[in-house]
Structure 1
């Protein structure tokens, strides 16, 4: 429940604060994620660092650079619902059928499980036909610290359809981001695996996951700065919301990974992704 509330709320600041093309906002968010994960790592008494888990963080950061554009294009609620649906479907299928080298998981009532997945797929397709009516913020308080004529936001958000497709791609990348951790756990019992006797406690991999996020986001931001001729769009008002967003996401991730130790990912994936979509939709109605 905590993961659902935190994940569903962590992008609410994007609705109220001008973030431009989102590159600066995503870097601030990822920096906050990394700092909070270091604190969590100290609390867990610094478990063994697994570099392979960083791959998931890289995939997550790759998807995260497109979050602000699709929220600006189609709105918070609709965007999170679409990305959550694609995350749910890929995450559920990979856990249920053992895709990408992870162990397949069984459920006590497979028919109900398949029906739920089918309804999710249907709802995700329906979301693509929902018309978004989103207005961008324009005020004297949204002037960037550094400006340039090029706007990545205008490229990403020409049409709401593009925003929907972007949200779906982000959802797939989010689903892929958890697979490295599941892969490590699945191969920890195989004698011929390099991950033999690796920890099956998912919280031990959060810091490595977040390190991958911060490194990838920093690389992307550096490339962005170079592409903008060292004149990126920096919004001072986006710093505090970015830090808050990173805090909520990291706490939500700790809650989700902890839940995976008591439930299986085939159960937590639908609960977390569908639940956070509902929370985001409610926020989308309340926050204009």
Structure 2
């Protein structure tokens, strides 16, 4: 009888863990697909000021989480993950300006998926490899993810016309504020992105999206390294917490410190005359808060589902949300051919994500 009750309790506990993990993943997917929407229609120039504002909001959320968690031990190595993320995130604004929100996010999400999956699956960078019940299914999922990335590259996005048609209706301010007085046609602060040819924009945007995805996919490695070595005897990390949310403050502190250093260097390069966009402050804060909450949910998903399962779900899912914004709100993606390619790409990446996830079962 006691054995039956113990078994029943174990099954119930596993079901609870899975429920928390998948709910966390769903929240993360929704917020990651939406977090850049508030700033989409505001001028952010070269993105350096926007990044710093975004990261300031991210750090504030982590401070609140740290207090809720009763200030767990701070591991400096976890800050390296924040450095990787902040370095990749410098490319976000140029990506959105060159290839659009939907296509840009789909590309970097795919490479984010592959990098995060491969490092967890094969134990790159000194972390323990994740064992899966069905390795072949796992490899099929990774292959489908690569195929989806190739399909995304053929989807055309019309960023310039979408910006012109929707610039007068930003999401977070009144239409009356957006007048010619506030947005003169002859601007002296045009960013380098605006001077690129259409082909140049596509090449630069896609390349930066790939780089961003690789950096994003590596950002959880330091935390996984600490956790894995925390289960071993004789290491400096022995006894480290196995609860991923305990590393949020260190991870996010790395993000804010890195972005601050980059912004100071940027100010020096600009001879103390950085391009400041006051109207992007509140949207940037909102974007940062959404991203921070989504990432906290990702940490929870890593804990309850494991990284090899959470990565395919959370990196593939936001593409659907972002593309819906791109299709229905920003009108970046148009035409029957693009819609069909987008549909096929979604089906492929969904199949890849499910294959990778079920290979663990």
Q: TM-score, normalised by structure 1?
A: 0.94
Query: 2:43 — aligned with what?
Result: 18
Give the one of 297, 300, 304 matched to 1:262: 304
> For residues 275 and 19 of structure 1, what CA distance do their matches in structure 2 show?
26
Residue 148 of structure 1 and its aligned partner are, at CA, apart by 6.0
> For residues 266 and 72 of structure 2, what CA distance do their matches in structure 1 show?
34
Residue 108 of structure 1 and its aligned partner are, at CA, apart by 2.2
Query: 2:207 — aligned with what?
Result: 165
> For residues 237 and 108 of structure 2, what CA distance do their matches in structure 1 show?
31
Query: 2:115 — aligned with what?
Result: 90
Kept in 2, the 8 Å contact 1:156–1:162? The answer is: no
Indicate the larger mover: 221-230 or 22-31: 221-230
For 2:305, what is the secondary structure of its paired residue?
Answer: coil
> For residues 236 and 117 of structure 2, what CA distance do their matches in structure 1 show?
26
Q: CA RMSD in A?
A: 1.8
Unpaired segments of 5 or more residues in structure 2?
1-25, 168-178, 331-361
Unpaired segments of 5 or more residues in structure 1?
none
Give the one of 275, 279, 288 matched to 1:246: 288
> For residues 225 and 244 of structure 1, what CA distance do their matches in structure 2 show?
24
Query: 2:324 — aligned with what?
Result: 282
Kept in 2, the 8 Å contact 1:77–1:283? The answer is: yes
> For residues 33 and 155 of structure 1, what CA distance do their matches in structure 2 show?
31
> For residues 150 and 236 of structure 1, what CA distance do their matches in structure 2 show?
16
Q: TM-score, normalised by structure 2?
A: 0.75
> For residues 257 and 271 of structure 1, what CA distance do their matches in structure 2 show?
13
> For residues 119 and 205 of structure 1, what CA distance do their matches in structure 2 show?
32
Residue 228 of structure 1 and its aligned partner are, at CA, apart by 1.2
1:231-263, Cα deviation, whole Å (9 max, x unpaired)? 111111101110001101110111111111111
**Bigger Rg, structure 1 or 2:** 2
Q: How many residues align?
A: 285
> For residues 153 and 212 of structure 1, what CA distance do their matches in structure 2 show?
28
Write out aligned runs for 1:1-288 (5 A).
1-135=26-160, 136=163, 140=180, 141-142=182-183, 151-154=191-194, 158-288=200-330
Residue 133 of structure 1 and its aligned partner are, at CA, apart by 1.5
Q: 1:88 to 1:185 in 2, by over 3 A?
A: same
Kept in 1, the 8 Å contact 2:35–2:291? The answer is: yes
Q: 1:245 to 1:193 in 2, by over 3 A?
A: same
